[in-house]
Amino acid sequence: MDASPETGFWLGPAGQDGGSVDGAEEDEPHVRCSLEGRVRLEGEPLADVPVRVFSTSGGGKGPVGGQVQTDTGGRFAIEPLPGGSYWISVILEGAFSRGVWVACQNDGERLSADVDLARAGIHVTGMLTDREGTPLALSSVTVRRRDMANIRSFRESLAVPVGADGRFELWLPDAGFDVVGDAVGHHGLVLPVPEGREEVELVFQLDRVSLLRGLVIGPTGPQSGVSVHASSQNDNGSSTIHRTTTGPDGRFTLECGPTEAIVTAWDGERWASRRVQPRQEGTDAPEIVLELQPGRSLSGRVHLADGSPVPMAEVACYSLPSGTGGGVQADIQGRFEISGLRPAEQVLVFCSADRRPWDERAMTIEADLAYVEILFVPMDE
């Protein structure tokens, strides 16, 4: 799975009378929302169009419940919607719309998800199989703009239904998209849509997962509650990241690809990292031991253009390329400090309370710097 600062600790988807969605993994127990929206093609409402809801909570991308149809005015309604986050997707022959992301966070909240479609000229078909060519029934496909920043790309991803035979179909306006294929027990793969073709077929041949087991040692012995992740490269250059937390005995088990993997542990103050050598697909890696050691500290201040502080701002810092790091909260004067970052690495810093596009609010700090000033520009300025 791909990890991002918004979705994980580590860097890097009713008819007229309404429908019911069951089986979603809930972020907020006992929270229920209602969802309504309208589907339009170039401004005109579309009747009898299927609307599908896909869960994004807990890293899942599976469809939730069945589907609902729009009424004669293009409207749809779903109630109740369990607490969590979702993509709303419409797949229509010859048309395309980016996915619409909604989050049910407060009980009784009324959510809106209008889907605006436009004519599309690229027909994409595809299939997900394992390395032997066997179709993968428990699979998912998402589509994202290639030139988007991380968070925006995630929120506007289009979730695509996949049949029991592992096949899928969609339409795109141009070739500037990546298609992501995932399946239970296998590693995800990202394939670009090729240029200059109106008919495109994408075949995902996914590697089976391997298991990586290990032990994290702290200053007083085996340490529980330590965040661990493994990053490995896929054949096409994309990265797969799996993460977990050590148990009471300091041990962990992670899925891991057959290629070389970098395994990193971080407890908020100390870090450790190891490389795991490539192995045959589907075979388990040898057990490893990670011994935590003190890391680098980075401090800074979040302020507005006039120099006044931004109290209690949320700041995230990640060492690159290891991904060691996490989020901290500034104090009343906008000051913050994070410890345990890996030495001799650049640090990506961004203020997650700032809603500007990703590339305007992130900065990279060189390995020899220990202090950073973050200028906060609110959305309405």
Tokens at 289, concatenated: 């031991």
Nearby residues of 166 by Cβ (< 8 Å), 6 or more positions away: 127, 128, 129, 135, 136, 137, 139
For 225-239, how does the pLDDT look when each residue is reduced to its tens digit (9 = 90+)? 999 988 877 665 666
The residue ranking higher by pLDDT, 258 or 305, is 305
14 and 56 in a common domain: yes
% of the chain surpassing 70 pLDDT: 82
Nearest to 70 by CA among 113, 122, 10, 123: 113
Q: What are phi and psi of 361, to 5 degrees?
A: -130, 10
177 and 245 in a common domain: no
Whether the CB-CB separation of 310 and 289 falls below 8 Å is answered with no
Whether residue 279 is predicted with pLDDT greater than 80 in this model: the reply is no
Position 38 scores a pLDDT of 96
% of the chain surpassing 90 pLDDT: 38
3-state secondary structure of 360: helix
Nearby residues of 227 by Cβ (< 8 Å), 6 or more positions away: 9, 10, 243, 244, 245, 265, 266, 267, 326
The residue ranking higher by pLDDT, 175 or 280, is 175
- Asked, for residue 333, whether it belongs to a domain, the answer is yes
357 and 280 in a common domain: no
For 150-202, how does the pLDDT look when each residue is reduced to its tens digit (9 = 90+)? 566 777 889 999 998 999 999 999 999 999 998 887 878 899 999 999 999 99
- Asked, for residue 381, whether it belongs to a domain, the answer is no
pTM over 0.75: no
Position 64 scores a pLDDT of 57
Kindly report the average pLDDT of the chain as a whole number: 81
Nearby residues of 162 by Cβ (< 8 Å), 6 or more positions away: 128, 139, 140, 141, 168
How many CA atoms within 13 Å lie on the side-chain side of 228? 31
Rounded to whole angstroms, what are the CA distances from 204 to 134, 176, 278, 362, 380? 11, 19, 21, 33, 43
- Nearest-5° Cα angle at 80, 23 to 68: 80
Give the domain-ending residue among 206, 225, 258: 206
Please report which confidence band the pLDDT of residue 319 belongs to, taking 50, 70 and 90 as the band edges. confident
Position 376 scores a pLDDT of 81
Range 69-90 burial, b when 16+ CB lie within 10 A, else e: ebbeebbbbbbbbbbbbbbbbb
4 and 134 in a common domain: yes
CATH number of the CATH domain containing 369: 2.60.40.10
224 and 198 in a common domain: no
Position 252 scores a pLDDT of 95
Give the domain-ending residue among 279, 294, 309: 294
CATH number of the CATH domain containing 279: 2.60.40.1120
Q: Residue 353 belongs to what domain range?
A: 297-375
253 and 366 in a common domain: no
Strand 221-222 vs strand 251-256: parallel, antiparallel, or unpaired? unpaired
158 and 48 in a common domain: yes
161 and 249 in a common domain: no
Nearest to 224 by CA among 204, 208, 247, 240: 247
277 and 358 in a common domain: no
Overall domain count for the chain:
3
What mean pLDDT comes out for the span 361-375?
84
For 233-278, how does the pLDDT look when each residue is reduced to its tens digit (9 = 90+)? 766 566 667 889 999 999 999 887 677 888 989 888 898 988 888 7
| Choice among 81-85, 229-233, 304-308 with the minimum mean pLDDT | 229-233
Rounded to whole angstroms, what are the CA distances from 265 to 133, 210, 365? 36, 19, 21
282 and 154 in a common domain: no
Rounded to whole angstroms, what are the CA distances from 327 to 123, 228, 317, 334, 350? 41, 16, 6, 14, 9
Tokens at 133, concatenated: 């060519």
Residue length of the chain: 381
The secondary element (H helix, E strand) that includes residue 375 is strand 371-375
146 and 32 in a common domain: yes
The secondary element (H helix, E strand) that includes residue 316 is strand 314-320
Q: What distance in Å separates the CA atoms of residue 280 and residue 301, rounded to the nearest whole number? A: 48
Position 66 scores a pLDDT of 60
- Asked, for residue 312, whether it belongs to a domain, the answer is yes
For 84-134, how does the pLDDT look when each residue is reduced to its tens digit (9 = 90+)? 889 999 999 999 998 898 888 888 899 999 999 999 999 999 999 998 899
- Asked, for residue 380, whether it belongs to a domain, the answer is no
- Asked, for residue 103, whether it belongs to a domain, the answer is yes
Q: What distance in Å separates the CA atoms of residue 190 and residue 182, rounded to the nearest whole number? A: 9
12 and 67 in a common domain: yes
- Asked, for residue 281, whether it belongs to a domain, the answer is yes
Position 103 scores a pLDDT of 86
Tokens at 184, concatenated: 């239970």
Residue listed under structure tokens 């008919």: 199
- Asked, for residue 241, whether it belongs to a domain, the answer is yes
- Asked, for residue 26, whether it belongs to a domain, the answer is yes
Whether residue 221 is predicted with pLDDT greater than 70 in this model: the reply is yes
Burial class of residue 214 in the structure, from the number of CB atoms within 10 Å of its CB (0-12 exposed, 13-18 middle, 19+ buried): buried
Q: What distance in Å separates the CA atoms of residue 227 and residue 250, rounded to the nearest whole number? A: 11
Give the domain-ending residue among 174, 206, 238: 206
Whether the CB-CB separation of 209 and 186 falls below 8 Å is answered with yes
